[in-house]
Amino acid sequence: MDARVKSAGAGKNSRKPPYIIPMRPHDLLLPAPAGLCCQPGGFHIDPVRPVERAVITHGHSDHARPGHGAVLATQETLDMMRLRYGDNFAGRTQAIAYGEELRLGDVTIKFHPAGHVLGSAQIAVSCKDTCIVASGDYKDAPDPTCAPFEVVPCDVFITEATFGLPVFRHGNAADEVKKLLASVALFPERAHLVGAYSLGKAQRVIALLRLAGYDAPIYLHGAMEQITSYYQSRGVALGELRPVKGVKKADLAGTITLAPPSATSDIWTRRFPDPVTAFASGWMRVRARARQRGVELPLVISDHADWDGLTATISATGAGEIWVTHGQEDALVHWCQTRGLAARPLALVGYGDEDEHEQESDKTAADEAAAETGA
Ligand SMILES: [Zn+2]
């Protein structure tokens, strides 16, 4: 028996009749220039180039791109793509629910919640006795705006590694929101401007503010209005939200406004009275990164699993083989190998943070983090 398809989590291989030749994981999913390709199923997962059939994990622009012949995704991901790219973002679309199974060619696929943003999914691809889970972006931390991450037992687990270094420990997002509220209480004459990615992070910060008891209106940069009202239309409670456009400067004292990260460092901020600039991101663990961006109030709130989340999830899946992609692959591959797991980096390109302005220096941030901690 091929040791690579054995796993405690899947468990079923031990009873497999010896005359059935197990499918090798690479026959099922293979890195290709367009993205992860499933030849027996005739589709790509999160393709970065236009393909005939795409299966998409979530709505962030580095995973969900326009121009495919057909797209299979959750209803929320399809809706977000429609909002961003217009009605003709794909030739055909099909919605699939969490837990629903679908036959594509010779394989079966099933979507499971990834806990990353609204509608985000891990995709389990099974053929014969082999199951590979492509988790896309994920987090195991609680998030009031999306379905919680589900551990899916599998033979091969494909994990992201955005924060794949031991220095990245995100802590409790609710505590970070308390810091923001303490600052608002301390500086009632100043506006608070919170940089956050438009899809997912902004809505999570708003929901966390509401959970912390903050019930004043929250102001939104124009770029966030559409996606935020979409969240509300899907039943995510966000309280009273107002567009910041047209509001008098003096009236913004003591208020909180959410804006895309790029907006918090440009001329747009002049409409706010003496703004306190905050930024909600896992990268805010790196003090040099916060300083370099001119962030006065760094908030360590991430929609990606931190080091403990990544390693705990890898263990929980029971997978005997781990493929590591987009981020800090090396440390996570090493961690897997020291635990006797077959692991390797997956050469996939084109994935990074949602906001293009953030993509340039992930490696730099990791170096900075290592320098700060002596790691
Ligand atoms: Zn994402």
Residues 121 and 134 in one domain: yes
Ligand 1 midpoint to CA 115 (Å): 10
Ligand 1 midpoint to CA 138 (Å): 8
Ligand 1 midpoint to CA 160 (Å): 10
Ligand 1 midpoint to CA 372 (Å): 27
Which tens digit of pLDDT belongs to each residue from 239-290?
Answer: 999 999 999 999 999 999 999 998 988 889 999 999 999 999 999 998 888 8
Ligand 1 midpoint to CA 58 (Å): 7
Residues 323 and 350 in one domain: yes
Q: Is the pLDDT of residue 364 over 90?
A: no
Q: Is the pLDDT of residue 17 over 90?
A: no
Residues 55/43, Cβ–Cβ less than 8 Å: yes
Task: Give the model's confidence band at 348: pLDDT under 50 very low, under 70 low, under 90 confident, else very high.
Answer: confident
**Structural domain range at position 189:** 173-299
Ligand 1 midpoint to CA 226 (Å): 18
Residues 327 and 252 in one domain: no
Of 299, 317, 348, the residue that ends a domain is 299
Q: Is the pLDDT of residue 371 over 90?
A: no
Residues 250 and 140 in one domain: no
Give the CATH number, domain containing residue 80: 3.60.15.10
Task: Give the model's confidence band at 366: pLDDT under 50 very low, under 70 low, under 90 confident, else very high.
Answer: low
Q: What is the total count of domains within the chain?
A: 2
Q: What tokens were used for 29?
A: 């999913």
Give the CATH number, domain containing residue 205: 3.40.50.12650
Task: Return the pLDDT at 19.
Answer: 63
Give the residue from 331, 326, 338, 322 showing the smallest Cα distance to 373.
Answer: 331
Which tens digit of pLDDT belongs to each residue from 20-36?
Answer: 666 788 889 999 999 99
Angle between helices 329-338 and 307-317 (to 10 degrees): 40
Residues 100 and 14 in one domain: yes
Residues 21 and 153 in one domain: yes
Could you tell me which residues come within 8 angstroms of residue 241 by beta carbon, excluding any fewer than 6 positions away? 206, 217, 218, 219, 220, 228, 229, 232
pTM: 0.89
Ligand 1 midpoint to CA 14 (Å): 36
Element (H, E) at 229: helix 222-233
Mean pLDDT of the chain: 90
Q: Is the pLDDT of residue 314 over 50?
A: yes
Which tens digit of pLDDT belongs to each residue from 79-131?
Answer: 999 999 999 999 999 999 999 999 999 999 999 999 999 999 999 999 998 99
Task: Return the pLDDT at 14.
Answer: 47
Ligand 1 midpoint to CA 290 (Å): 21
